[in-house]
Amino acid sequence: VSISTRGFDPSSFFQAVPSQGAGTGVVITADGYILTNNHVIEAAANGGTIDVVLQDGTRLTGDLVGRNADYDLAVVKVDTTGLTPATIGDSESVQVGDQSIAVGSPLGLEGTVTSGIVSALDRPVTAGGADGSETSFISAIQTDAPINPGNSGGPLVNAEGQVIGVNSAIASLNSSSGGQAGSIGLGFAIPINTANRIAQELIKTGTAATPVIGATIDFSYTGQGASVQSVTPGGPADEAGIKAGDVIVALDGKRVDDAVGLITDIRQNAPGDRITLTLENADEIEVTLGQR
């Protein structure tokens, strides 16, 4: 995996160009911590090599600090100082219609900047790992800024140049040759408040916990809401009184449409947070989130 810095401030962003694909990321500390997608570095996670190329052409070896496949996030460290960190914004303040700018290396074209608007918030999406073995669930910022393969892990910024999200997935039509087509104006970014929380946990401990309710959700359920398939004995859902067959239709008053929506809504919280789940029969149940 090779990584090179580019962007609004050349020392704040980088592009990753692994041998199996392409990606992007964000310098978050002056002493070399870099935030990117898990799927950007996944191929190098078990004995691979991460090469980092700075804006001035300096090539460094990157060390994987930690990764969380559930959120599709990872942190890489290079042994250097004096980098200029990107300015982190507040994704809670983002509104539909705000200007959005994506920085990255789409299709290997380094230092590319594309612009658009925030076209939706809290969009539940899934993103697969490099080999399809690790699936991430993202409550995403949707943007129509053109995003293509190679933008993954890079910053989505607002009009002030503050990072509001980490570009992670696109919706794309398949080309006639069976490959992936280009941007159709549907890109998705992990909100920076979530991404930064995970990044700080990875920096401090090398791991980051994923909040769970201790239940398996039935992805084949076709009604509105998320149907509980099974409950982990002694887990948060079990202790709160949730049972197999219950259908969850809202979380903290926000409608839950399906299994993916429930999981992405849960993952906007942290382990230990208390949430209120509304069942199909109108029962409201408080659950203290566990972790894995």
Q: Which residues are catalytic?
A: 39, 72, 152
Neighbours of 163 (CB within 10 A): 28
**Cα separation of the two ends of the chain:** 28
Cβ atoms of residues 83 and 75 within 8 Å: no
Burial tier of 68 (Cβ tally within 10 Å: 0-12, 13-18, 19+): buried
Q: Which residues pair with 139 in a beta bridge?
A: 124
Neighbours of 253 (CB within 10 A): 8
- Cα dihedral 260, 262, 263, 265 sign: positive
